[in-house]
Structure 1
């Protein structure tokens, strides 16, 4: 059976590991928030660019089909 000292050491290591994992989790949550905001911004910019391209395409003149040349 484990002695009280061994058990205390294990609990302390577990607490340290828990703190480390908690800090890592907090950092990852911050990264997720940052990347989500960046993704949303890029999506918005893409949609705006797509709308501008669509508007430019609508302004292009429509060409009539060319008749085939007869030799």
Structure 2
């Protein structure tokens, strides 16, 4: 049977592990929030890039063709 000292050590260790677990949960929540923000930003930038490409393509279509001299 474990002694009172061993039980105290185990209880202390469990308390430390619980604190660490809570800390990791908070960190994970913050990181998940950052991922969400960055994902939204990335999607917005991809959309803006597609729109810019579309505008450039439309401008290129309006340019007269240049005939190469032979």
Determine the structure 1 residue equivalent to 2:59. 56
CA distance in 2, matches of 1:54, 1:63: 16
Determine the structure 2 residue equivalent to 1:11. 14
Runs of 4+ residues over 4 Å off in structure 1 = none
SS of match in other structure, 1:3:
helix
Structure 1 unaligned blocks of 5 or more: none
Determine the structure 2 residue equivalent to 1:33. 36
Q: Which structure shows the higher helix fraction? A: 2
Structure-1-length-normalised TM-score = 0.88
CA distance in 2, matches of 1:62, 1:18: 66
Give how far 1:65 is off: 2.1
Give how far 1:64 is off: 2.0
Structure 2 unaligned blocks of 5 or more: none
